[in-house]
Amino acid sequence: MTIRFSSSRRILLFSSLLLPCLSSLVFAQGTVQSAIPQAATKNETEHVVMMVWDGLRPDSVSAQNTPNLFRLAQSGVTFSRHHPVYPSSTEVNGAALATGSYPEHSGVIANKEFRPDIDPLQAIATEDLEAVRKGDAKTPYLLAPTLAEIIQASGSPTAIAGTKPVALLGDRLDKRTSPAARASSTVFEGQALSPASLEAIVKAQGVFPPTIEFPNTKEDAWTTRALTQTLWKGGVPKFSQLWLSDVDYTQHDSAPGSPAALAALKSCDNQLAAVLAALDAQGVRSKTAIFVVSDHGFSTISRQVDVYAALKEAGFKAPKKFAAPPQNGEVMVVGLGGSALFYVGGHDRIVTQRLAQFLQTTNFAGVLWSRDALQGTFPLALAKMNSAGAPDLVMSFRWDSAANRFGVPGSILSEGKRIAGQGSHASLSAFDMHNTCIAAGPDFKTGFIDTTPSGNVDLAPTILHLLGLNSPSAMDGRVLGESLRNSLTLPSVQSGKLESTSKFNGQNRSQYLLWQSVDGVVYFDEGNSGAPAP
């Protein structure tokens, strides 16, 4: 096997024995985190609102689909080369947005993970309140401080409201020791950490709608009103976050570009209008920086893959349910949609190697990552997923650029209950790994298209910079300084392609990863097996 790394500056050939060096030499951000620079002049921003449109693709933003967001972009900055962290899914990017950290540094590496200290028999949902509480009882569930915690430590309360439970990750702590922390609110999926906050919201607008619809307008409107009409009743705090469920929920059900998905875009745009109107009513619009960001992109499922059946046919012990903790050599599969995690009982080297070899012979495996060096895989450390409890193997499913029945490009193979024609994500597809970020406010340029690569890990350090605050520890992301009014230069950009080739049973296999880097912060553009998609 050979692994080739190419960039605009150099081309190097690596053997598998030298692969660990690649992580430290090329992707050095994993060990040397970026510091947060101080503002050269005092910023005008006094409030920040981060609004998450879950699953919003950049090509969905238009004057027709999202007129309010389109106008906001014209008055501010569009980050045209924005990226989620991998896996391109909600909870892991919720943690990245909250902490400015890559998955292995935030402590959340996927939507679902096997954490035997929390549940020894099955994977947990990483946004689940019970799982979070069990995790925090042993060690900090998130390994890095969140924006809300940092801002509260400076003496200012915060407000977080989400239709989806991922909002909990933004400000989850049960014990509130400071006045600012006690005055802060976290609302998630119709629940609240503060009983008083929930009581006030329900009194004002009734209970959370009990049923998810497509589009999910009722639940998203309830959450928006909870923030703007109740949590902001006494004034707009220094930092607020509003996390909508759409367009994710609707695109999962009917795919990007469907009539329902277009209606979901209108619904989200109406929630943005409500937020802007509330800021105007409070008289703080001119002092507020507004970020509209998505956690990931989106694709259409071209084929459903039954991973369990494939492993069973190949002779692996991979039960769907475990009656006892996984035994040595048993494989727990944790499906994420466009990716899958594989936990091998006892980290059995022989079984893990055989599993990696088998997956490379399938027609559904895209990029393979491994915890330990294995032929034909990339090291998990490059994906910034190499946490203490990391899986033995991670697989992104294959994808291509084919358009769906609504003319929207981007198709992936996917595991799970959803079928061909519905929507999914979490892969290394170019359509999953490019998401939306638009920002406007007193310190941002106007009508600026920022072509410098950026990512979800960059929002937290940028927000702290705007508010004149520092993080108690270094963050992985960078301040998006090129988008600010006082910036005159653009940072330098490096880019490259990482390739791996292997041969099994007389058949050659290759996989690749396209990446970009700015100031040591690495962003993945796409990855797949075979040649790059047309």
Is there a contact between 533 and 526 (Cβ–Cβ < 8 Å)?
Answer: yes
What single-letter amino acid sits at 199?
A: E
DSSP 163: S
Task: Identify the pLDDT of residue 28.
Answer: 43
Where in the chain are the domains?
2-6+27-32+301-403+411-416+494-529, 47-103+145-299+436-448
Domain 47-103+145-299+436-448 has CATH 1.20.1270.30: no
CB 209 within 8 A of CB 280: no
pLDDT tens for the chain, 534 residues: list them: 444 545 443 323 333 333 443 444 344 443 333 333 444 458 999 999 999 999 999 999 999 999 999 999 999 999 999 999 999 999 999 999 999 999 999 999 999 999 999 999 999 999 999 999 999 999 999 999 999 999 999 999 999 999 999 999 999 998 898 999 999 999 999 999 999 999 999 999 999 999 999 999 999 999 999 999 999 999 999 999 999 999 999 999 999 999 999 999 999 999 999 999 999 999 999 999 999 999 999 999 999 999 999 999 999 999 999 999 999 999 999 999 999 999 999 999 999 999 999 999 999 999 999 999 999 999 999 999 999 999 999 999 999 999 999 999 999 999 999 999 999 999 999 999 999 999 999 999 999 999 999 999 999 999 999 999 999 999 999 999 999 998 888 999 999 999 999 987 788 899 999 999 999 999 999 999 985 544
The H-or-E segment that residue 301 falls in is strand 299-305
Q: Is the dihedral of CA 447, 450, 455, 458 positive or negative?
A: negative
- Which residues, in sequence order, are CB contacts of 200 under 8 Å at separation 6+? 230
Predicted local distance difference test score (pLDDT) of residue 8:
40
What pLDDT, on the 0 to 100 scale, is given for residue 530? 85
Do 514 and 527 form a contact (C-beta atoms < 8 A)? yes
Residue 502 CA: distances (Å) to CA of 1, 22, 40: 5, 18, 51
Give the H/E segment covering residue 195.
helix 195-205
